[in-house]
Amino acid sequence: MNNLKLSVIFLFGVLVLFSCDNTETKKGRFLLKGNEKLKENDPEAAIEFYSEALLVDPHYKDALYNRGLVYQQLNRLEEAISDFSSVLNANPADSLALFQRGVGYMDNGEYYKALEDSKKLLSTLPKSWKSHFLTGLILEKMKNYPEALEAFDNSLDLQPDNPEVLINKATLHYYLKEFDQSEISIDIAQKLNPSEPNIYNLRAMLAFESKDYAKAMEWIEKSIELNPKEAFYYNNRGLYQIYLGEYEKGLEDINYSLKQNPKNLYAIRNKGIYYFYKGQKELALTYFKEVFQKDPDLELVKDYIEKCNQK
């Protein structure tokens, strides 16, 4: 299985498009050109234009913020964190930059720094659902599931019909093996936003848990249909294919996912599962041991280590 890439749910939905009176200035024109490149799905070119704007004005908040978002999209987390930090150096209470830097720290594995940003955000905007949502995301990464669930509930108190929060709450119930409660939250989320691919990814995870691998494949195909660019969907599909006996197709998906994110422990584990079923137990064990050293509680790893060590 793979965890939801929770930070992706709404990170890139709102990039500021500026048309105010500074659009005739040089930096404003570069900013607008960068936004146009984003519309054309050319993030590298967008970065170049935002960087040109910042050569004109190194403190240009709009360019720093938008460039930081694109860096985040490309998983260039150190650069994203740097841009959001530059915004916060000028305005430590900037809620947009606090949220995004918190997500950046979280995705970079710097959980305590992320938590500091979430605390600042809660202090700045205690009645914002996003403040509690970020706290929940970070606590989940830290595997503090009860407090993460409480944070998501606080977020839903402020915005009850938010599908993003509901999906993440459903995911936490999944981690806690509370599958019926997970289904309840995901049903509500689907009614609110039936085109959200993470809904079907989670349904696939639940189907896998019940050993209905064919149904898991149906659901993950729906996720990929809705968002063919999300690498961890392919990793999940690869796992389901292995359990259905389609080993080479599974490996192809897992390798594709690893190419996008070589640090994905779920994909490394799944590659070990592939080699286990191909009869290469010693090679499989190297993958399982690598994952175990970094996350000994990751699902299925201990089971497969035991299977590999059986005579």
pLDDT at 2: 42
Give Cα 117 to chain centroid, integer Å: 18
How many helices (DSSP H) and strands (DSSP E) are in the chain?
Answer: 17, 0
| Alpha carbons 129 and 145: distance in angstroms, whole number | 18
Tokens representing 45? 């070119």
Q: Give the integer Cα–Cα distance in Å for 102 and 105.
A: 5
Per-residue pLDDT of the chain (311 residues; tens, 9 = 90+): 444 333 333 334 445 554 444 544 788 899 999 999 988 989 999 999 999 999 999 999 999 999 999 999 888 999 999 999 999 999 999 999 999 999 999 999 999 999 999 999 999 999 999 999 999 999 999 999 999 999 999 999 999 999 999 999 999 999 999 999 999 999 999 999 999 999 999 999 999 999 999 999 999 999 999 999 899 999 999 999 999 999 999 999 999 999 988 889 999 999 999 999 999 999 999 999 999 999 999 999 999 999 999 86
User: What CA–CA distance (Å, rounded) separates 183 from 31?
Assistant: 43
Contact 241, 221 (CB under 8 A): no
Report the Cα 77 to chain-centroid distance in Å: 12
The structural domains of the chain, with segments of one domain joined by +, span 1-100
CATH classification of 1-100, choosing from 1.25.40.10, 1.10.3720.10, 3.30.70.1140, 1.10.490.10? 1.25.40.10
Spatial CA neighbour of 223 closest among 201, 250, 238: 201
Q: How far apart are CA 294 and CA 145, in angstroms?
A: 19
Residue 44 CB partners (closer than 8 Å, separation 6+): none
Asked if residues 17 and 61 have their Cβ atoms less than 8 Å apart, the reply is no
DSSP state of 8: G
